[in-house]
Amino acid sequence: MHWGDAQAVLFDLDGVLTSTAAVHMRAWDAMFRDCFAALGVAEPYTDAEYFAHVDGRSRVDGVRAVLASRGVVLPDGDPTDPPGTATAHGWGNAKNAVVEGFFAREGVAAYPGSVAVVADLAVRGVPRAVVSSSQNAVAVLAAAGYGGQFPVVVDGVVAARERLPGKPAPAMFLRAAQRLGVDPVVAAVVEDAVPGVAAAAAGGFGLVVGVDRGAGADALRGAGAHVVVQDLDELLR
């Protein structure tokens, strides 16, 4: 399926519509420095681990995956655990506190190419959704100037409420397609993370576009992307 044939488009948020993926990387680094110090983990956290274990996954899944790579297992705890509690949720909430501080101080920027693509879809009347593991998606969309552009948002809040498994499972994308009233086979997904691309491919979407913001074109294609671009404005050429 070609881009112009898509009857609906589902977008990831961080790293696709907004430049917030880099901010999340910094927040994970800051959180894991504190986490590893508290747990006595000597091996430092690296940016490569963001793409290997964190990118595209929920906060708690990212915490679990990175700690498991160090042979550390913490109890999951509860989603309401205060930041820094010795649980997966507690450290996930610590990361969220850090990233919210960054957003408050630095603001949220949208990629110009992404703004152009969303505007083009709106003019053509193509239904649009955001599918993001983030629990801050609605606030980030509004801060980036996308308010009202996406009638359907399936984010970490919705996933928790509806008990939808996170990416790389396809459930969140399939739920968004259902809410848009479109068959996945005639819809496109735009993702920058390997787990997200894998989720879209597993969901049977007709076109999976990988956006290489650092994950690597080969990794995105290997996960199931039909096409890989550096920026969304390439889709308008």
pLDDT in tens, 131-147: 999 988 998 999 999 98
Say what the pLDDT of residue 39 is.
95
CB atoms under 10 Å from CB of 237, counted, come to 5
Instruction: Name the catalytic one among 12, 55, 61, 192.
Output: 12
| 20 pLDDT tier (thresholds 50, 70, 90) | confident
Whether cis (ω within 30° of 0) applies to the bond prior to 168 is yes
pLDDT in tens, 158-172: 999 999 999 999 999
Assess whether pLDDT exceeds 90 at residue 72. Answer: yes
Helices marked H in the chain — which ranges? 20-39, 47-49, 59-69, 88-106, 112-124, 137-143, 156-162, 171-180, 194-202, 217-223
Instruction: Name the catalytic one among 5, 14, 231, 233.
Output: 14
Say what the pLDDT of residue 213 is.
92
| Least confident residue range of 51-60, 147-156, 171-180, 183-192 | 51-60
Assess whether pLDDT exceeds 90 at residue 237. Answer: no
Say what the pLDDT of residue 57 is.
87
Where b means 16+ CB within 10 Å and e means fewer, 203-234 reads: bebbbbbbbbbbbeeebbbebbbbbbbeebbe
Say what the pLDDT of residue 22 is.
85
- This prediction has a pTM of 0.84
Helix (H, G, I), strand (E, B) or coil at 40: coil
Is 76 catalytic? The answer is no
Assess whether pLDDT exceeds 90 at residue 205. Answer: yes
Is 12 catalytic? The answer is yes
